[in-house]
Amino acid sequence: MAEAGSGGPEGGAETAPGGGAVPEADAWGDLLAAALLGTERRRPPVTVRPGQDPAAALLDAAALSTVARRAGVRPAAAWPLPAPAPADPRPALPAAARRRLGLLLADRVGQGPSGPRAAPDLTELLPQWLAMANGHGYRAPDALLPALLDAARARTDLRPDALALAGPRGLWLARLNAEWKFALRGGPGRGTGGLSESATPEEVAKLWEEGLFAERVSLLSMVRHRDPAAGLALLAGTWATERAEDRLMFLDSLRDNLSPGDEPFLEQALADRSRNVRATAAELLSALPCSALARRMAERSRAHVRLEDPAGGAGAPRIVVRAPEECDSAMQRDGVVPKPPSGRGEKAWWLGQLVESTPLECWTEWFGGRGAAAVVALPVADGWQPDLHAAWCRAAVRQRNTAWSRALLGSPAAPLSTPPIAGEAALAAAVTASWRDPAKLLSALPPEERAGWVAEFIAAHGLSDAFRLLGVCAVPWSEPLGRAVVDALDIARDAGSYPWSFSGVMGLAERCLDPAQADRLEVLTAVSDEPEDGSPGAVGYWSESFQRLVGTLRLRAVMRDELNGAGETPSNSPETPTSAPPPDPAPPTAPQPAADPTAARTPHQTTPPESHPPTAPQPTADPTAPRTPGLAEPRPAARTPPRMPE
Amino acid sequence: MNPQGERWTAEQVLALAPDTASRIAGGELGTAGPWSGTGSDAQSVWGLCQGGGSAPYQTVVDLEGAGGPGYRCGCRSRRSPCEHALGLLLLWAGETGEGSVPKAAAPPEWAGEWLAARRSSATAPGVAEGAETADGTAAAAGADPVAARRRAEQRAARIEGGASELEQRLTDLLRDGLASADDDSHAGFTVWGETAARMVDAQAPGLAARVRELASVRASGPGWPGRMLEECALTHLLSQGFLHREELPEGLAATTRSRVGIPVGTAGLLASGPAVRDHWSVLGRQDSEEGRLTARRTWLRGRRTGRMALLLSFGAAGRAPEPALPTGLVLDADLVYYPSARPLRAVLGTRYGRPAPESEATAPPGTGIAEALADYGEALRDDPWLDAWPTVLSGVTPIPGQGGWQLADARTGTAVPVDPRCLQRTNLWQLTAVSGGGPVTVFGECGHRGFAPITTWDPHPVPL
């Protein structure tokens, strides 16, 4: 072998040319030919000493040649260098936080913690850590970028935060390795190809014209954030030439800074070739209460839903519904889907779509100036209440109407509309019977009120229906909410059931409880006496679960302090800016728990973003279906205990 | 002993972990929560860890000792150090907060007993650990020198027999032609297997390993005849070297003996060999599974002498091999090199103080690509069987290519291919991420297959 490495003549180093004692490459070829055929058949091109076996002489010469060629290896010609990675001006992580990230990412490899089940689950803490780190504006350590990209590849829920932390160098690296192609596509929070907020219009236009899809998505959201009209102009300029799935993603990115100025563009998009684009445009327009579409929908609703208020007290006022008889082409153009999902009557289906797109203020106007609570309290004739209220709920969520959300939520202590049924039956029941979707309505309320409502709900109903509600509460949980959850867990323990019936809530509590609660929880980790009617062994499992909860809370506090740089100077970062990190790095929204706590470990949840736009409307499905696919209640019945007690 | 009672760094602690799972679990336990009754003096750390059971685990770490740190914990884990010992050390280590593990005048009784027992046994005679079975060249202390010499002669005679037999096999192969082995590769494989077993019988494990290597070359893909001839020729060179060792210069004869597989006792080596005292920088470390053992290679370079050294140690499964020297530390110690024409492997002698991190985090000085290849060539002059020589390359940029990688020097337009055997085990993407398309310093082994990266700097050391 003449070259350093086995890359062959084109990839390897050159052999030292002959001269002196170094044999020619040809000489090696001759030796090899003789060796292949055998010295019996071919006389080797070597000097054989008297009495020496020609084969031994061949080996002598081959050894000399081998060592000489190895000693004479020379450098190869360099391939073209990759373009250097763009600079990332963000400060480096404090040393302890950097070490923590290394451990969090190492756990993902699947070695799993060796300790008891009471040990914290690091894979569930990674999303929170990433969000906190991004809150501080740190950049990822270069050496951990491959592990970070691998983690994001395996878990789609990590991608936005992982890629934001990875920054421009992460994107640079992902371009070099086909396994990280996902980073170059889809989703917000990606690098904008090195463009900063202060980019000139020419730079923006150039990136918009030539950039990768991911860069364009983040560019659009950046420009929209700064100047909504400029962003819209950017999109309108190339709209006709975009692919349908790209149009859908771009259109969806208008959602966050939606304003009346977007109406003409959206009105135009109602005639788009793609059905999904049309549906999204209609949905966005109906979220603009002053839009022409909203007015048209309101007029239609008004013809079908009216207040019957007998004069002179001849009976209580009530709402009477006359369902639409047809779904004409004008309605369809405004986004009404004519064909209902199986099992639903088409008239009720059409009515629901009209009402959900009607500005909620209209009802107050039409129903004698009644406020939201009064309208919701009105009786509805002929069993139309579930359909009507469900549509109002969707409208309240879409229009982010606090008053209506509050009214539709009602009192948290009110009896549940569906009896709590465990497992799949509950999910099915929730879809068909429950017109209310408290989790989504809650998101329109201010965080404090939201937490208070959920706390009262848990105090009244326990934890079995609380999972999704907890998922929309701000992290860390407020003090009253945290107390309600802990109290409910304590009650459940005293009732003698197994902790894994509450594993979903337990997992949320580990991630969302304020770490300051750890000391208060400490007493619950003690192994108490077994209640007589309790499940065998449950006490031990509860103790273990609470230990894990306390351990996780403590770890979160440490992680937070590490990111704050508590007690140390920033690591290896001469360019660390002097600006202090924000005092409270906690992300404003709750982490999105995986449907099943065990599912988060499953590798390869790699769905290409195109086929799975986060907010793609699904016109044929029930519009009340949760927007976040992962946010479904775990099924406690499906969990099996790790060790069955005798 | 270190009178200042200087605390270790968290990296030093994590480097002690026998495996990834312990490292992670230890990281979780490195918070004040589960701990009580913690304390430390200049030589030990102790604490009580609330575990799964009712009584907390009593965890003690002896920071000093003849064979490195010692651990004891109530958890009875197979691993050593266990996650509790690691967690305790992390808590104690400089950055996690002084207040968690306060200084104390003396350990509590439960910890003190074990510490005292450990220290007294370490100084007791007759427990010299790690001494390999020695042959005559380095007679174990106390053994009868005459008997040792006789055993050594017997062994040498057996190896000579094995080497002659191997020579016969090689010349037979070359007489029939390498291509003839092609006809029935299964039979060929068996022949090599038998030969390897014969070499084990002949007490020549080094020859046996070479023969097993030969058996695998046949299946190594295109270009195998060239590699086969190279390996056969070098094996031939080694058996000839051993058969004629009396005529060789002293150093080369020692190299031949060690390559054939005659061990050198570390105890004898430490007693007799010249010690090289220096501040040794830890340039890299690699653990690999070898059967049921974990083999650990630690590469050092002397600050004063500039000499490279390799420490090779073994640990049973679940136990971290000693010494635990993470990359980036400097150790003031004596090293004794194994006798060789090109000394590299060494044994650690007296240490003068605990290993400490480099005073400032910078990449070590390195050489260019042409120089590195020339250094390897130079080393081959002394030891023709060397596959590679440890080298620090500076100013190189990793380039991923189709089916291979290069380390290139943009200033000279030259490059060295990355050893293809690294593609599986080395995190070349990590190297690329640190490089960011710019020049970096890389420590690794430079040889005829290319360069095998082991460490890079960002400017803190990054094991690859």
Work out the number of other CB atoms within 10 angstroms of the CB of residue B219.
Answer: 9
Residues of B in contact with A95 (CB under 8 A): 10, 95
- B357 reaches A (C-beta below 8 A): no
- Pick the residue with more confidence: A578 or A304? A304
Least confident of A244-253, A350-359, A440-449, A523-532: A523-532
Query: Could you report how far apart the first and last alpha carbons of chain B are, in Å?
Result: 32
CB-CB: which of B21, B233, B462 is closest to A113? B21
Q: How many CA atoms lie less than 13 Å away from B359 in the CB half-sphere?
A: 2
Please state the rounded mean pLDDT for residues A4-33: 54
CA distance B244 to chain A (A): 14
- Strands B44-49, B57-62: pairing is antiparallel
Please state whether the peptide bond connecting residue B323 to the residue before it is cis, i.e. omega within 30 degrees of 0. Answer: yes
Least confident of A72-76, A639-643, B216-220, B445-449: A639-643
Distance CA B15, CA B323 (A): 10
> Can you list the domains of chain B with their CATH numbers?
10-123 (no CATH), 145-260 (no CATH), 274-357 (2.40.50), 369-463 (2.40.50)
Is pLDDT at A645 greater than 50 in this prediction? no
Please state the rounded mean pLDDT for residues A285-301: 87
For the record, the structure tokens of B284 come out as 């890299």
For the record, the structure tokens of A591 come out as 């982490």
- B83 reaches A (C-beta below 8 A): yes
**How much is the pLDDT for B62?**
86
- DSSP of B174-197, one letter per residue? HHH-GGGGGTTHHHHHHHHHHHHH
Percent of all residues in chain A with a pLDDT value above 70, rounded to a whole number: 74
Please state whether the peptide bond connecting residue A420 to the residue before it is cis, i.e. omega within 30 degrees of 0. Answer: no
Q: Say if residues B408 and B415 touch (Cβ distance below 8 Å).
A: yes
Picking from B153, B44, B188, the residue whose alpha carbon sits closest to that of residue B107 is: B44
Picking from B188, B216, B211, B184, the residue whose alpha carbon sits closest to that of residue B199 is: B211
Distance CA B426, CA B334 (A): 31
**Cβ-count burial of B135 within 10 angstroms (0-12 exposed, 13-18 middle, 19+ buried)?**
buried
Cα radius of gyration (chain B): 25
Is pLDDT at B390 greater than 90 in this prediction? yes
- Look at B95 and A568 and tell me if their CB atoms are within 8 Å: yes
**How much is the pLDDT for A523?**
74
Q: Could you tell me the CA-to-CA distances from B190 to A187, B164, B187, B193 in Å, in that order?
A: 58, 19, 5, 5
Which residue carries 């020549």 as its tokens? B204
CA distance A91 to chain B (A): 15
Distance CA A47, CA A69 (A): 20
Please state the rounded mean pLDDT for residues A65-80: 92
> pLDDT digit string (tens) for B193-211?
888 999 999 999 999 999 9
**How much is the pLDDT for B217?**
85
Is pLDDT at A217 greater than 60 in this prediction? yes
- Look at B433 and A143 and tell me if their CB atoms are within 8 Å: yes
A63 SS3 class: helix
Least confident of A445-459, A501-515, B150-164: A501-515
Residues of B in contact with A7 (CB under 8 A): 404, 417, 420, 450
Distance CA B210, CA B345 (A): 19
- Look at B433 and A173 and tell me if their CB atoms are within 8 Å: yes
Which residue carries 């509050």 as its tokens? A406
Work out the number of other CB atoms within 10 angstroms of the CB of residue A485.
Answer: 26
- Look at A73 and B414 and tell me if their CB atoms are within 8 Å: no
> How many beta-carbon contacts under 8 Å exist across A and B?
271
Output phi, psi for A588, to 5 deg. Answer: -70, -25
Edge-to-edge, what's the strand order for the sheet holding B70-73?
B35-40, B44-49, B57-62, B70-73
- Look at B417 and A76 and tell me if their CB atoms are within 8 Å: yes
Distance CA B367, CA B393 (A): 5
Residues of A in contact with B401 (CB under 8 A): 11, 79
- DSSP of A444-457, one letter per residue? TS-HHHHHHHHHHH
> pLDDT digit string (tens) for B324-351?
788 888 999 999 999 999 999 999 988 8
- Pick the residue with more confidence: B133 or A121? A121
Which of A37, A103, A564 to probe the B interface (max B CBs under 10 A)?
A: A103
- A1 reaches B (C-beta below 8 A): yes
CA dihedral B78, B83, B89, B94 (to 10 degrees): 150
3-class DSSP string for B8-41:
CCHHHHHCCCCCHHHHHHHHHHCCCCCEEEEEEC
